[in-house]
Amino acid sequence: MSTRNDSTALAAAAASATRRANLIAILSWLAPGAGYFWLKKWTRGALIATAVIGMFLLGLGMQGQIYQFSQLGDLLSILGWIGDVCGGGMYFVTQLLGAGAGNAYTVWGNYGTTFLISAGLLNLLAATDVRDIALGRKK
């Protein structure tokens, strides 16, 4: 009987650790670098926050386009939207403010769009790294 209780307790602990890691990853997705700060990885958190937020702001400053769900029509628009949504909270705040209309008629506008998508993808990569650290898979 005790082995059954031990395995149940281990399964519950593993499920609890996974839930905690998932919550930290969602926090990191919403606010770039926040998951690293939560895990006391100060340098990584500062680097990711600076890089992701900086790339996002540069993209907006270069008149990059934020893809909206209502504009999805072809594969490239869908992929661009996925990259933008990976920016987390910055994407939603930008949408609420009505910014990110873009200027596709300038070279800077195209570069800005690329910066916005790249910032989102870097943010997603950091969130998955935070989850792996929280689960103890890496340091």
The residue type found at 20 is: R
Q: Which long-range contacts (CB under 8 A, 24 or more apart) does 125-128 make?
A: 126/28, 126/32, 126/33, 126/35, 126/36, 126/48, 126/52, 127/25, 127/26, 127/28, 127/29, 127/35, 127/88, 128/25
pLDDT digits (tens, 9 = 90+) for 39-66: 999 999 999 999 999 999 999 999 999 9
Model pLDDT, residue 4: 65
pLDDT at residue 117 greater than cutoff 70: yes
pLDDT-based confidence at residue 3 (cuts at 50, 70, 90): low
Model pLDDT, residue 105: 86
Model pLDDT, residue 2: 58
Per the structure, the complete domain to which residue 93 belongs is given by 2-134
Asked, for residue 44, whether it belongs to a domain, the answer is yes
Model pLDDT, residue 8: 87
Query: 56-70 burial, b for 16+ CB within 10 Å, e for fewer?
Result: bebbbebbbbbbeee
pLDDT at residue 120 greater than cutoff 90: yes
State pTM to two decimals: 0.90
Asked, for residue 77, whether it belongs to a domain, the answer is yes
Asked, for residue 49, whether it belongs to a domain, the answer is yes
Total domain count, the chain: 1
Asked, for residue 139, whether it belongs to a domain, the answer is no
pLDDT digits (tens, 9 = 90+) for 70-104: 888 899 899 999 999 999 999 999 999 999 999 87
Length of the chain in terms of residues written: 139
Higher per-residue pLDDT: 2 or 66: 66
CA 64 and chain centroid, separation: 18
**Is 135 exposed, middle or buried (CB count within 10 Å of its CB: 0-12, 13-18, 19+)?**
middle
